[in-house]
Amino acid sequence: MNVMDTRSTSALLYLDGVHVSFDGFHAINNLSLALEPGEMRAIIGPNGAGKTTMMDIITGKTKPDEGTVLFDGKTDLTRLDETRIAELGIGRKFQKPTVFESQSVEDNLLLALNVDHSVRGTLFWRGSRGEAEQIDRVLETVRLKDVRRKLAGSLSHGQKQWLEIGMLLAQDPKLLLVDEPVAGMTDVETHQTAELLKEINRDHTVMVVEHDMTFVRELGVKVTCLHEGTVLAEGTIDQVSSNDRVIEVYLGR
Amino acid sequence: MAHVLTRSLDRAATIFVLVVAACGVLIPLSNLLLPAGSALQVPTYLVALWGKYVCYAILALSIDLIWGYCGILSLGHGAFFALGGYAMGMYLMRQIGTRGVYGNPILPDFMVFLNYSKLPWYWHGFDMFWFAALMVLVVPGLLAFCFGWLAFRSRVTGVYLSIITQAMTYALLLAFFRNDFGFGGNNGLTDFKDILGFNVQAEGTRAALFALSCLALILAFLICRAVVSSKLGKVLIAIRDAESRTRFLGYRVESYKLFVFTLSACMAGVAGALYVPQVGIINPSEFAPGNSIEAVIWVAVGGRGTLVGAALGAVVVNYAKTFFTSGVLAPYWLFMLGALFVLVTLLLPKGIIGTFNSWWDQLGSKRPNADSAAREDGVTEPKMAE
């Protein structure tokens, strides 16, 4: 149905000629982008460049008016809803940290684990050693082991960001979409987050949207600059930041 | 299966079950065995009155399950309660037989009065108790399933969902008021004679109905506890707090909502079915939107998201209602109810039990070496991790 016969691209995520408009406003305009498996890509761009809308399209929250969005070279994401896309292995961290505030850090991770998500499966669920170990590993990675029993709502802003990244790890997706992970973080936390994402990138494909240029520089990966819903420049951070058009629109000079 | 039940019985739940069980045994025994007029004897009118409260408590539990744990604010749950009540009422009507005013062996009095020539098709089978009992679950459950399937799949949430649940119960109110709808119109169903061969007016039957209501309350409570203490309960809370996040984790939110909504409607139906033989009448006013709103207030007063609180709220508010509407303050009851809701929202946003729980936890955290980390309420100063 939505699975094509043959793989048409080697890219894990492939967007081609995508258009979206809201009430006549062209949020995404002929956007084309390809992410290879194992890659980490930073997406930059001024406000309103369409970064978050692009993530909405990939995760099924927004349907594009036209264009192709392929996952793993064969699955058409434009036909699926959020749940199906999450099941395929695309995880998303929101711009504003969104964790389940009234539940403990552990329970947040438990909910994120990539296990049986059916009503019956969760009703008769019982914890297993494997799940507990996986939660321990994630807690270790995101440095939240000491606060595992605390309510997520009582965490600091930075810790919430990490918890949400931890939930992505527990979900163990093939592709992680990370929207502004260091917004509101201190310099130390920003540095730690860059380290964390690099660690995660060892066995996951990652797409990071971020404003913070120091952070993007620290990641040291290929950068795509969006402007008015289309790709303006692509390359290393030095190439992109020396591009005349990028300087013009991004830095407002 | 067993682990689901054992997990659900924590200390508060055990205490609740024991208290309800004790009431369910002692009150009927005191009513039947002690001589009338004795200080410890519970008069029959009180048994019937408290039986009504117990039914309301089941309704409150069913509302708390969806509102307190899944964030679905139904302002039409009285409809499921009333439908369960009508199913039981139809059985009781068919039991009257030739003892009715017109003595028709098949047709209930109101049908003879309205010149029905034969029993409408949907009245067939209600002469059998097992069929009526099944319908008590199936009719509210099916309505909730269809309603929920349409609403949740279209992602109708929040205040919009509340409004359409109000519309649903109001539509049913209007339908049941019609004489040609076949359920007794304005007067509803009444003049019941017996249930399973026992006289509904007899003291023994009333005591047994009270005990059964307590048993149903315990069962409903255990089912709710089993649901909310499982991983499914965590998913429900996740949906309540951040619905789209839950979706992005790969949970099919609409299936979860549909499951609890249907389960909750079935519970409300059982509450209605136990209510009708104890009050002796069911009429369309049970569908009144105000009834459903009142039931939501019970839950808010007792403590939304605490099952014991919901049951307690139903009993406390209804006791107050009985108390105040029988005195000089009777005309002002609705104002008092409204004021109560405003006060609870402002002063006790967690309700009676919720406030008690936070107070208890704070007390616990002041004691040295108390392990209170698991239940901190988010009011503590957030600390930075190193």
Q: Which residues from chain A sit within 8 angstroms of residue B227, using beta carbons?
A: 123
Instruction: Say if the Cβ atoms of B237 and A149 lie within 8 Å.
Output: no
> What's the DSSP call for residue A134?
H
Secondary structure class of A56 (helix, strand, coil): helix
For residue B378, the chain A residues in CB contact (below 8 A) are 101-102, 151, 153-154
Over the stretch B108-124, which tens digit does the pLDDT of each residue have?
A: 999 999 999 999 999 99
Average pLDDT for residues A95-100, to the nearest whole number? 88
Which of B254, B219, B258, B59 lies closest to B141, judged by CA?
B258
Report residue A34 as tokens. Answer: 């390809």
| A149 → chain B, closest CA residue | B374
Q: Residue B374: its chain A contacts at CB < 8 A?
A: 104, 149
CA distance A227 to chain B (A): 26
Most A CBs within 10 Å: which of B248, B350, B384, as the mutation test of the A interface?
B248
Total length of chain B: 386
pLDDT (0 to 100) of residue A73: 86
Looking at the complex, report in whole angstroms how far the Cα of residue B245 sits from the nearest Cα belonging to chain A: 7
What count of other Cβ atoms lies within 10 Å of the Cβ of residue A56?
21
When CB atoms are compared, the residue of B226, B237, B245 closest to A98 is: B245
Q: How far is the C-alpha of A190 from the C-alpha of A182, rounded, in Å?
A: 6
Weakest-pLDDT range from A82-96, B79-93, B207-221, B263-277: A82-96
The CB density around residue B78, as the number of other CB atoms within 10 Å, is 30
CA atoms within 13 A on the CB side of B341: 12
Beta bridge partners of A75: A3, A71
Chain segment B275-316, per-residue pLDDT in tens: 999 999 999 999 999 999 999 999 999 999 999 999 999 999
B385 pLDDT above the threshold of 60: no
Shortest Cα distance, chain A CAs vs residue B161, angstroms: 21
Which residue, chain included where needed, has tokens 């949907």? B122
Residues 6 or more apart whose Cβ sits within 8 Å of residue A69: A13, A14, A15, A18, A57, A58, A76, A77, A78
Distance from CA of B233 to the nearest CA of A (A): 8
Q: Degrees (nearest 5) of the Cα angle A185, A188, A194? A: 80
The shortest C-alpha distance from B60 to chain A (Å) reads 22
Cross-chain CB nearest to A102 (options B226, B241, B379): B241
Instruction: Round to whole Å and give the CA distance between B46 and B361.
Output: 36
Spatial contact of B310 and B225, defined as CB atoms under 8 Å apart: no
Quick one: tokens of B139?
């009719």
Q: Is the pLDDT of residue B367 over 70?
A: no
The predicted-structure confidence for B333-351, as pLDDT tens digits, reads as follows 989 999 998 999 899 889 9
The gap from C-alpha B150 to its chain's centroid, in whole angstroms, comes to 23
B252 contacts A117? CB cut-off 8 A: yes
- Facing residue for A150 by CB, picked from B4, B242, B376: B376
Most confident listed range (A120-124, A246-250, B63-67): B63-67
Nearest CA in chain B to A172: B249
> Angle, nearest 10°, between helix axes B289-302 and B307-325?
120
CB contact under 8 A, A158 and B384: yes
- Read off the pLDDT of each residue in B198-225 and give the average, rounded to a whole number: 96
B241 touches chain A (CB under 8 A): yes
What is the model's pLDDT at position B23? Answer: 96
Measure CB to CB from residue B234 to each of A107, A154, A158 and give the nearest one. A107
Query: Averaged over B77-104, what is the pLDDT?
Result: 95
What contacts A68, CB < 8 A, 6 or more positions away?
A14, A15, A16, A17, A18, A76, A78
Contact partners, residue B73, CB within 8 Å, separation at least 6: B67, B158, B159, B161, B162, B296
From residue B196, alpha-carbon distances to A146, B51, B346 in Å are 61, 19, 48
Q: A16: left (phi > 0), else alpha (psi -120 to 50), else beta?
A: beta
Chain A residues with a Cβ under 8 Å from any Cβ in chain B: 59, 61, 82-83, 86-87, 91-92, 94, 98-104, 107, 110-112, 114, 117-119, 122-126, 143-144, 146-147, 149-151, 153-156, 158-159, 167, 171
CB contact under 8 A, B235 and A122: yes
Complex-level ipTM: 0.87
- In whole angstroms, what separates CA B280 from the centre of its chain? 18
Distances (CA, A) of B144 to A163, B147, B159, B259, B302: 37, 5, 18, 10, 25
In the 8-state DSSP scheme, what is residue A151? Answer: B
pLDDT in the model for residue A104: 96
- Identify all chain A residues contacting B256, using CB atoms and an 8 Å cutoff: 119
pTM for this prediction: 0.90
Q: b/e for A117-137, b at 16 or more Cβ within 10 A?
A: bebeebbbbeeeeebeebbee
CB-CB neighbors (< 8 A) of B242 in chain A: 98-100
Instruction: Give φ, ψ of A19 to 5 degrees.
Output: -125, 135
CB A216 within 8 A of CB A223: yes
In one-letter notation, the amino acid at residue B261 is F
Cα dihedral A142, A147, A149, A154, rounded to 10, equals -100
Inter-residue contact B281 to B188 (CB < 8 Å): yes
Closest CB to B374 among A91, A98, A104: A104
Which range, of A162-176, B281-295, B365-379, averages the lowest pLDDT?
B365-379
For residues B123-147, average pLDDT:
97
Residue numbers in A near B230 (CB within 8 A): 122-125
The full length of chain A comes to: 253
Contact A98 B242 (CB under 8 A): yes
What's the rounded Cα separation, in Å, for the pair A177 and B118? 66
For A146, which residue in chain B has the nearest alpha carbon?
A: B385
The amino acid sitting at B50 is W
Q: Which long-range contacts (CB under 8 A, 24 or more apart) does B320-328 make?
A: B322/B49
pLDDT at residue A251 in the model? 62
Judge contact between B300 and B294, C-beta under 8 A.
Answer: no
- Give the domain ranges of chain B: 2-366
Q: Which residue, among B234, B221, B232, has the nearest Cα to B256 in the 3D structure?
A: B232
Identify the residue with better confidence: A88 or A9: A88
Contact between A180 and A209 under an 8 Å Cβ cutoff? The reply is: yes
pLDDT digits (tens, 9 = 90+) for A185-241: 889 989 999 999 998 999 899 999 988 888 999 999 999 999 989 999 999 999 988
Question: How many angstroms separate the CA atoms of A91 and A88, rounded?
Answer: 9
CB count within 10 Å of CB B40 equals: 9
CA–CA separation, B235 vs A119, rounded Å?
9
For the record, the structure tokens of A72 come out as: 């793993």
| B374 near A CB under 8 A | yes
B142 touches chain A (CB under 8 A): no
**Cβ A123–B232 below 8 Å, yes or no?**
yes
Torsions phi, psi for A225 (to 5 deg): -105, 125
Could you tell me which of B46, B349, B81 has the C-alpha nearest to residue B220? Answer: B81
Distance in Å, alpha carbon of B377 to nearest chain A alpha carbon: 7
Structure tokens at B107: 């047709």
